[in-house]
């Protein structure tokens, strides 16, 4: 599994954090993120940047990008934040069926336009989900 895509809606809050965590775990693999309704070209939300920095991750250069068919074809694993992201992605690109999974055990709430505590809650869920997926991926080789 050499190509891992993380996905949320705007690609400025949750998926950049998941991308950074998994990229740190797998520096030799391609890990990237996108959004179903990306705020294309926008930087990561300042709360996400601050949380990442507090955990020795730098997402300050991140710019949001829209998910594309090519990304979905290249990805061997697509990790979404909410189940409806999976449903929408499979509707748009039926070829992704079987390689789209939620990052967490349940949906990871979108902290967009909320206070820092909502971002901290999302971070905790993203961190747990990324750690669990990192373990699974390592076992697969």
Catalytic residues: 8, 14, 110
What residues contact 65, with CB distance under 8 A and at least 6 apart? 11, 33, 34, 35, 38, 40
What residues contact 29, with CB distance under 8 A and at least 6 apart? 1, 2, 3, 4, 23
Reduced DSSP (H G I as helix, E B as strand, rest coil) percent helix, strand, coil of the chain, to 5: 45, 15, 40
């Amino acid at each position: 599994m050499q190509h891992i895509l993380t996905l949320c809606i705007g690609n400025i809050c949750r998926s950049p954090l998941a991308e950074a965590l998994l990229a740190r775990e797998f520096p030799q693999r391609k890990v990237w993120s996108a959004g179903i309704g990306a705020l294309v070209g926008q930087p990561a939300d300042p709360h996400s940047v601050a949380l990442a920095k507090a955990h020795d991750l730098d997402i300050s250069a991140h710019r949001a990008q829209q998910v594309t068919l090519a990304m979905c074809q290249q990805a061997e694993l697509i990790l979404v934040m909410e189940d409806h992201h999976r449903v929408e992605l499979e509707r748009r690109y039926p070829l992704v069926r079987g390689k789209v999974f939620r990052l967490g055990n349940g949906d990871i709430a979108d902290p967009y336009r909320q206070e820092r505590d909502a971002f901290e809650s999302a971070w905790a869920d993203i961190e747990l989900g990324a750690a669990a997926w990192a373990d699974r991926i390592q076992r697969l080789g």
